[in-house]
Every structure is written in C-alpha cells, then in structure tokens.
Amino acid sequence: MKEILFSRKLVTPNGVISGNLFMADGLIAAIEVSDSPSSQAHDCTDDFLIPGLVDIHTDNLEKHYQPRPGAHWDAIGAALAHDAQCILAGVTTVFDSLSLHGSKDGLNRQEAFAPMIEAIDHATEEGLLRSEHLLHLRCEVTNPLLLSLVEPHLDNPRLKLLSVMDHTPGQRQTAKLDRFKENMIRAGTNDDDFHSMLEERTAWRNQEAAPKNRQTIVALAKEYGIALMSHDDESVEHVEESHSDGCIASEFPVSLIAAQKAHEYGMLNVMGAPNFVRGSSHSGNLSARECAELGLLDIISSDYIPLSMLRAAFMLSEAPFNWPMPKAIATVAGNPARLCGLIDRGEIMVGQRADLVQVHIAKNGWPVPRAIWRQGLRVA
Ligand SMILES: [Zn+2]
C-alpha cells in the first residue's frame, strides 16, 4: 500500500492545489505543494483528490433488506450490499437513517428496525464494512411505539443523529394532498389503491401522542448529547418550534420560507442530492437547486441514491452555480461532519483522518470515484 498520494487537484478547505499528501497511522500527516509526484506516490494525475464523503441521510439499507416488496433478504447480506454501494460512491462515513415508522411498500419497519441495526453492529465488529457506519434514527412522532423503539439504542456508540418528523398524509411533505394524489396516480396507483395506501399510512398513528413524543426525543437528544434535526419543515412556525427545540439543522425544508427562516436562526439546511441532480423534488416541494442559488444550501445527503451526492457536489462547482470547489465539497464532507460533532474528518488537512476519494471526471461530466481510502487504507 502506498502511503503517499499525488494529485494536481487536491481539494483543501482553502483552495485546490497540486501536491503530495502523506498518510500515517490513518491520518493525513503532511501535504506538500508540488507539480510532480514524489517517488512511491500513488499518482492521481489530473483526477481530483477530495475528502471522503459524509452522508447523514440515506435509507439505502432498507432497499437491500427488502429488495422487492415482501422479499426479505438476509440482514448481514443487506448490510454488505448497502456498504458496497456507499463506499463506491465515495462515502466513507454513512449514517444509516432508519425510520421509526409504520409500513412502507410492505416493509414493516418496526419489525425490520432491530435486525437491521444488529446486522450493522455485527458487521462493524467483524470488520466486514468498508465505510464507517453511524446511526441516524428518524423519529416519527405520531408512532405510539416510538419511545420504546428508540430507548434500547440510546447507548449505542454509533448513534450520532436524531431527527423529528411527521409524515401524516396532508402534513408537511405531503401538505397538498391533491398534488400527492396526482403524483401517485401518475406513478400508476389507481384510486382504490391510493385510498388504501392513505389508510396504511394513517391508521397506526396516534396524533395525541405526538407532542409528548417530540418533547421526549428533544430531551433525550440533550441528555445524550446527540445532534438533533427537524424534518420537512414547511412553515415559519415549524422552524420556530425546531429552533426552540434545539434542532441545529432543518432537513429537507419543503418551502423557501422555511429554509430562509432556518438560516435566520443559524440552523443549517440539508437537502437531498437526487432533488438537486434531477432539478426538482420528486414530491413537488422546494428545489435544492433553488436553495443553492439563494445561498440557502449547506449540506447535501444522498437520500436514496448513494452516487448522487458526489454528482451534486461537482455540479455546484459548475455553471450556473460556479461555487468554489472547497465550498462545493464542504456540502458533502466538512459541513455534515461538523454538524454531527465529527471533528476528525471531512477536510483535507493535516491531522484529519485520511479518508480520501480520487475522482475522475468522465466525458459527460459525471464524477467517477476511482480509488478510495478510509483511515489511510485503500478500501476500493
Ligand atoms: Zn420526509
């Protein structure tokens, strides 16, 4: 294994430089500005060298746990497949974002929740995973079983992020029920199916339990020192509540007014990379590109497509955005790391973890990860 990496496009927080990066004990030991590779260096030539990505929101694990509706897959096998997709997308730290939610597409998330966490715990202990897997619990506040599901995991050292949310149809993300229905019909759902889906997404909820559940999660986040985000904020009132609850970020704000209010309060805005790359939100809400143009975009997460994160970050450095490369890369590395209290990674700087991605730009513009190191070890 080579301990030295050379690139003409090393993306540091202060600019893009040509140089040799020396790794030792899993960390970046030195960076030397140079036009040529040091002998023994792994030569990235004109490929970019960027910090490993930190993805704070992905439900990609669920997709592998139940690859088709009703078809459950082995939990360790699912963890391995999910991990492979993350690392090959340049994501060296991933927050497996598990919904404490009812059923979706036939997956009973309540039942699936514990086996998925256990599988990642086991695979981590056995050293089977190439990305570092942390935990983001998505706390659906209308779930009557919410607290009993969260409590057993509060001492899990991998738990670094909590978010509070309410996906009751007709609220927040699906505030415009007509539009929601229109989207579902367009996607091939018929009228009867729509009504039974609405029933499936509503029946198990307990609206009365929601305020108390939310306040308990807020208190637990404080007690355990876990970063807290709000989710799908739509109105000024939503953001005011999030801010007074101690949320440090607004995840996927669904309206411009919510994203603006979050910034006024010094909260960061997290948007989904698929929304950014596609050019619009699939549910017809706030566009991540619009957020970027207005200076309201701080963090990009992969949401449901691991490779979309890298693409979104590089698009930010191109027209019409033209963000400086360090600022664009910060949205997928330094900013999400700091939000969750991970001060040891996310930037190419001496002393930071040697989590690094060599990125080749394909002719059609796609950034392609070519080599990946985690804590100094080549893992892909
Ligand atoms: Zn949502």
Domain 53-165+205-343 sits in CATH 3.20.20.70: no
* 201 CA from centroid of ligand 1 (Å): 13
Per-residue pLDDT at 139: 97
DSSP notation for 197-214 = HHHHHHTT--GGGHHHHH
Cα(86)–Cα(132) distance, integer angstroms: 10
* 60 CA from centroid of ligand 1 (Å): 15
State the 10-residue block means of pLDDT for the chain, 380 residues long: 89 98 97 97 98 97 90 94 98 96 78 92 97 97 94 96 92 75 81 82 87 98 98 96 98 96 98 95 88 98 97 98 98 98 98 98 96 98
* 184 CA from centroid of ligand 1 (Å): 16
* 308 CA from centroid of ligand 1 (Å): 18
CA 114 vs CA 15, 117, 157, 164, 337: distances in Å: 43, 5, 15, 19, 25
* 170 CA from centroid of ligand 1 (Å): 12
Cα(196)–Cα(200) distance, integer angstroms: 6
DSSP state of 68: B
* 284 CA from centroid of ligand 1 (Å): 12
* 191 CA from centroid of ligand 1 (Å): 23
Per-residue pLDDT at 56: 98
Per-residue pLDDT at 102: 75
Cα(247)–Cα(215) distance, integer angstroms: 12
For the chain, domain boundaries? 1-51+345-380, 53-165+205-343, 169-197
* 231 CA from centroid of ligand 1 (Å): 6
Cis peptide before 306 (omega within 30 of 0): no
* 55 CA from centroid of ligand 1 (Å): 16
* 253 CA from centroid of ligand 1 (Å): 9
* 4 CA from centroid of ligand 1 (Å): 42
* 345 CA from centroid of ligand 1 (Å): 27
**CATH fold for domain 1-51+345-380:** Urease, subunit C; domain 1 (2.30.40)
* 14 CA from centroid of ligand 1 (Å): 34
DSSP state of 171: S
Per-residue pLDDT at 109: 83
Report yes or no: 233 and 134 within 8 Å, Cβ to Cβ: no
Per-residue pLDDT at 335: 98
* 103 CA from centroid of ligand 1 (Å): 15
Per-residue pLDDT at 144: 93
Measured at the CA of 104, the angle between CA 205 and CA 305, to 5 degrees, comes to 125
Which tokens go with 213? 């559940």
Per-residue pLDDT at 2: 60
